[in-house]
Structure 1
Amino acid sequence: MNYQVARSSAAYFTDEKVRHATLAAMMTSEALDRQTRNDDNGMQQVLSSLGVTSGNGDELVARGAAMGTRVTTYTDQVATVEVWMAGLVGVTDTNAPMPVSASWTTYTLTLQWQSGDWKLASINSVNGPTPLDAGSDDPTSVDEFRTADREFNAPPYAG
């Protein structure tokens, strides 16, 4: 669960050094290079689609929260865990192409016991389950999201 929360932070999206250090701490030695390439490419695509530039990178809101977990397989050496997550991502810049939006994703994490710790061997994801939007509120303004992102601490993760 903490692995996916760590991969959901704004710094993970925008700071290659943070991303690489995070991956080095959590991935198996065999999976590290592949996941680093995948996430570097993925983050470039996401940032581009969100309209994040060097001038507005501090306006990025990126957070994830685990809604639940389940272990689907387990041995002393390998485990598979599913993590159902809610996420927020977007830019609090009124000129950005995508405002802060919510997503629901289930990640399947294959963990391997390596060097005295559980490390990620692979990460896969599918959309959902996604709850019904009650539609009772209008979306929050860009300014309100900017304020909330700065005033509320992100959930901690072990790392």
Structure 2
Amino acid sequence: MAAAVNYEVARSSPSYFTDRAFRHAVLDTMMTRESVSAQKRTDDQDATRVVASLGLGKENAGRMIMRAAPMGTQLSSYSPAVATVRIWMSELVGMASADSPLPVSANWTTYTLTLQWQRSDWKLADISQASGPTPLQTSDRAPDSVDAFRKMDEDFNAPPYVG
């Protein structure tokens, strides 16, 4: 399960969305030989969509915030050759900018990852996702300012991808 969580964290960084060479290097490391090309196409399309929705350009790329944290894991099936893992994750995505079309927002997603044992390691064969479950937000707090998110993003390092 650690490999599956590690792989989802690797796919949840600003560089993954803004740097095609970085994204492809990550996918080359973690995907099976049979699935890497298709996942590159899918993730390239997703990255283009995310960058466009954020209004992201070279001048404001440093203001993108993308963090993910696993809330729970479930081993759905296992054999020495194939495993299916579900990961419930909370994600922050947006721009730490007052004029952003998408301010920093929380998202809740459940990912299902199918891993295969290849090259002496667990490699991803398939990734699917579903929304939620999403908890109720606390009603006694208003969202913090974009400056607060920018400061936290600068002061706290994201958990590293260990590849």
In the alignment, what sits opposite 1:65? 69
For residues 32 and 96 of structure 1, the distance between their equivalents in structure 2, rounded to whole angstroms, comes to 33
Structure 2 residues not aligned, in runs of 5+: none
For residues 62 and 134 of structure 1, the distance between their equivalents in structure 2, rounded to whole angstroms, comes to 22
Q: How many residues align?
A: 159
Q: TM-score, normalised by structure 2?
A: 0.95
Asked if 1:120 is matched to 2:128, the reply is: no
- 1:62-96 C-alpha deviation (Å, 9 max, x unpaired): 01001111110111111100011000000012221
Letter in 2 for 1:59: R
Structure 1 runs of 4+ off > 3 angstroms?
none
Alignment partner of 2:154 out of 126, 150, 153: 150
For residues 115 and 101 of structure 1, the distance between their equivalents in structure 2, rounded to whole angstroms, comes to 38
Q: CA deviation at 1:134?
A: 1.5
Q: CA deviation at 1:128?
A: 0.7
Q: CA deviation at 1:103?
A: 0.4
Letter in 2 for 1:140: D
For residues 152 and 136 of structure 1, the distance between their equivalents in structure 2, rounded to whole angstroms, comes to 25
Identity across the alignment (%): 53
Alignment partner of 2:145 out of 128, 134, 141: 141
Give SS of 1:34's match: helix
Q: TM-score, normalised by structure 1?
A: 0.98
Structure 1 residues not aligned, in runs of 5+: none
